[in-house]
Amino acid sequence: MSEPIRVAAVDLGATSGRVMACRVGARTLHLEELHRFPNGAVPVQGGLFWDVLGIHRELLAGVREVARTGPLDGIGIDSWAIDYGLLDARGGLLGNPRSHRDPRTEGVPARVRRTVSDAELYDVTGLQQLQFNTIYQLASEASFDGVDRMLLLPDLLTYWLTGEVGAERTNASTTGLYDVRARDWSLDLTKRLGLPGAILPALREPGSVVGPVLAEVAEYVGVAGVPVIAVGSHDTASAVVAVPAEEESFAYISSGTWSLVGLELEAPVLTEDARLANFTNEGGVDGTVRFLKNVMGLWVLSESLRTWADKRLRDVTLPGLLAGATEAPPLRTVIDIDDPRLLAPGDMPARIQQLAQEAGEPIPRTPISITRCIVDSLVLAYRRNVRTAASLAGRGVDVVHLVGGGSQNALLCQLTADALGVPVLAGPAEAAALGNGLVQARALGAGLHDLAAMRALIRRTHDVRRYEPRPGLDWDAAESRLNARDDGVGR
């Protein structure tokens, strides 16, 4: 590779989106954020919707800025999973896509269960039971009249850039409609559930070139013929690419709005124990399996910050809260961070106080004590799920790589090392964008032949912070307090 490759890595989160210029060379891997914009579900008449046209507009503005500031060799898009848009036969969008936090899927898993049992569903898909999985969203649709195709959000945006219809495999594997053994859509499932299997598009591999941008896109961004590349379009799949691991015995935590906690494996784990533990088997880049558990994540903290801002608590800032929480009494109040009541937007501090009261825990009264409760509870979830994943897969874990925005939270990283008793290597923070850029660069001819080569480049070009475990806190006792009152299965 004589000259570095420069691509636009579009990394979309549920609360913000970023367009990065990613430059990749033999000993170069550099990200530059050129466009950032807020994102969020829009409430309309009791529902929650994505402003997907607004996202597309911001995506184009960001790609145009990448092209304005230097060469543009490719474009790749990653985002959160599960949510989708429906197209008619002419390729028109049939309404704004719904957010997975929309209440329409309440009670739907129980309805699906009457036709396909949880055990049958897991045996085919290997997926964690979450009420907002695509399969349940589709089952809640009132009608499929006029629907020609279903496109997951990054595939929808790719379609608007190229005119090409398809479904990138890592994101398709999160839907609950994908056969994890056959590595294809399960049309038997769609038939049994009365869902139209014909709306599912052909699958494409991460790293495949989808096609050049349409003429209207080229005119807007100022560069013609730029290829759009299917990356690991589920942002966690891209983030795992950028885990700077050397050893095989590692676990990863992709920590952001959601936290994804798990292992990288060569084959799915489809045992009954894995199903009861509610672990998921999702596709990764290069045919790997992401054996992981969804944890509610830093959404709980960001939504608490939004609530305090609405209440005009002007002295409440994230740095101040984390500094105060570091000095606050540890493990004083712990809650189940995955309680379904923490899923939807709203007054998160009040919900945390209610959960603490119901559990007989000391009720946190201040923003600092609530923040400490959130971090401690999140770390307990990390601890439980890393250990469970290792046990179910029959693997040891000697180090945990914590990537994503949470890697910048020193309290979270240190407590994770303490709780698990193994070192935590924190960073890179922009793992999803880096993985996105690396997969694009390989497709465009960079000499990055496998995940090991990509990760070696990450290690050469990015510093990570190492947190050694410290003794002192009784994590076993805190976990016992949670387990004693957890009447859910597999949480």
Q: Which residues participate in catalysis according to the annotation?
A: 235
Confirm if 330 and 369 have CB atoms less than 8 A apart.
no
Q: Measured between alpha carbons, how far is 140 from 117 in angstroms, rounded to an integer?
A: 17
- Nearby residues of 476 by Cβ (< 8 Å), 6 or more positions away: none
DSSP 89-101: TTS-B-SPPBPTT
Q: Measured between alpha carbons, how far is 106 from 101 in angstroms, rounded to an integer?
A: 10
Query: How many CB atoms lie under 10 A from the CB of residue 488?
Result: 10
**Which two three-digit tokens encode residue 65?**
């800025």
Name the residue with tokens 């195709």: 149
Confirm if 77 and 12 have CB atoms less than 8 A apart.
yes
The C-alpha angle with vertex 474 and arms to 468 and 476, in degrees rounded to 5, equals 100
CA atoms within 13 A on the CB side of 45: 0
Tell me the residue length of the chain: 491
Q: Measured between alpha carbons, how far is 460 from 440 in angstroms, rounded to an integer?
A: 19
Question: What's the sign of the alpha-carbon dihedral 486, 487, 490, 491?
Answer: negative
Q: Measured between alpha carbons, how far is 453 from 441 in angstroms, rounded to an integer?
A: 12
Backbone angles phi, psi at 148, to 5 degrees: -105, -40
Query: Beta partners for 252?
Result: 262, 401
| CA-based radius of gyration for the chain | 22
